[in-house]
Amino acid sequence: MKAMRPSVRGVNYATSPLLASKTPPWRSRFVVALLALAFLVLVGRAVQIQVLDNDFYLMQGEKRYTKTLKLPASRGRILDRQGIVLATSVPAPSVWAVPRTFQADVEQRKALSRLLDLSPAELQARTEGEGEFAWLRRQVDTATWEQVKALGVRGVHQQPEFRRSYPEGEAAAHIVGFTDIEENGQEGIELAFQNKLDGKPGSRTVIIDRLGRVIEDQGERLEPVHGGDVTLSIDSKVQFFAWQRVRDAVLEHNAKGGSCVVLDALTGEVLALANYPSFDPSRRQALSGAQLRNRALTDIFEPGSVMKPFVIAWALETGRVTPETSIQTAPGSITITGSTIKDAHPHGALSVAQVVQKSSNVGTVKLAMAMSSREMWELYSQAGFGRKPQLEFPGAVTGRLRPYKTWRPIEQATMSYGYGLSASLFQLAHSYTVFARDGDLVPVTMLRRDDAAAAVPAGRGSAPAPVQGVRVLSPQVAQQVRQMLQQAAGPGGTAPKAQAIGYSVGGKTGTARKQEGKGYSSSRYRAWFVGLAPVSAPRIVVAVMVDEPSKGVFYGGEVAAPVFSQVVQQTLRMMNVSPDIEVKPQVIVKPGPSEQESF
546/554 Cα distance (integer angstroms): 9
Q: Which helix (H) or strand (E) holds 371?
A: none
Mutual angle of helices 120-127 and 106-115, in 10-degree steps: 110
Give 239-291 as a 3 state SS string: HHHHHHHHHHHHHHCCCCEEEEEEEECCCCEEEEEEEECCCECCECCCCCHHH
Average pLDDT over residues 254-267: 95
Per the model's pLDDT, the better-predicted residue between 199 and 434 turns out to be 434
Which tops the pLDDT comparison, 271 or 128? 271
Do residues 46 and 38 lie in contact, with contact meaning Cβ atoms separated by under 8 Å?
A: no
Q: What is the mean pLDDT of residues 318-323?
A: 96
What are the phi and psi torsion angles at 179 (to 5°)? -115, 170
Identity of the residue numbered 459: G
In 517-571, DSSP assigns E strands to 519-533, 540-547
Q: Regarding beta strands 440-441 and 470-471, do their DSSP bridges make them parallel or antiparallel, or are they unpaired?
A: antiparallel
pLDDT at 493 over 60: yes
Kind and range of the H or E run holding 108:
helix 106-115
Cα–Cα dist 347/586, whole Å: 37
Mean pLDDT on 38-65: 73
Q: What is the pLDDT of residues 187-236, one digit of tens each?
A: 999 999 999 999 888 877 766 666 556 666 666 777 888 899 999 999 99
pLDDT band for position 42 (cuts 50, 70, 90): confident
Statement: residue 282 has pLDDT above 50: yes
**pLDDT at 165 exceeding the cut of 70:** yes
Query: What's the mean per-residue pLDDT of the chain?
Result: 86
Residue 453 has pLDDT above 60, yes or no: no
Q: Give the model confidence (pLDDT) of 324-376 as tens digits.
A: 999 999 999 999 998 999 988 888 999 999 999 999 999 999 999 999 999 99
Rg (CA), the chain: 39
**pLDDT value of position 62:** 60
Reply yes or no on whether the pLDDT at 441 is more than 90.
Answer: yes
Q: pLDDT tens for residues 108-137?
A: 889 999 999 899 888 988 888 877 788 999
438 within 8 A of 477, measured Cβ to Cβ: no
Which of 259, 278, 305, 504 is an active site residue? 305
Quick one: pLDDT band at residue 599, thresholds 50, 70, 90? Answer: low
Residue positions counted in the chain: 599
Confidence band of 587 (pLDDT split at 50, 70, 90): very low
Q: Long-range contacts for 584-592 (Cβ within 8 Å, ≥24 apart)? A: 591/491, 591/496, 591/497, 591/499, 592/491, 592/492, 592/496
pLDDT of residue 21: 61
Range with lowest mean pLDDT among 451-465, 506-520, 549-563: 451-465
Residue 424 pLDDT: 95
SS3 165: strand
165 labelled catalytic: no
Residue 256 contacts by C-beta under 8 Å, 6 or more apart in sequence? Answer: 250, 290, 547, 548
pLDDT digits (tens, 9 = 90+) for 508-543: 998 888 877 777 777 888 999 999 999 989 999 999
Percentage of the chain beyond pLDDT 70 is: 87
Assess whether pLDDT exceeds 50 at residue 456: no
Please, what are the domains in the chain? 236-574 (3.40.710.10)
The pTM (predicted TM-score) of the whole model is 0.83
Q: What is the pLDDT of residue 458?
A: 37
Per-residue pLDDT for 317 more than 80?
Answer: yes
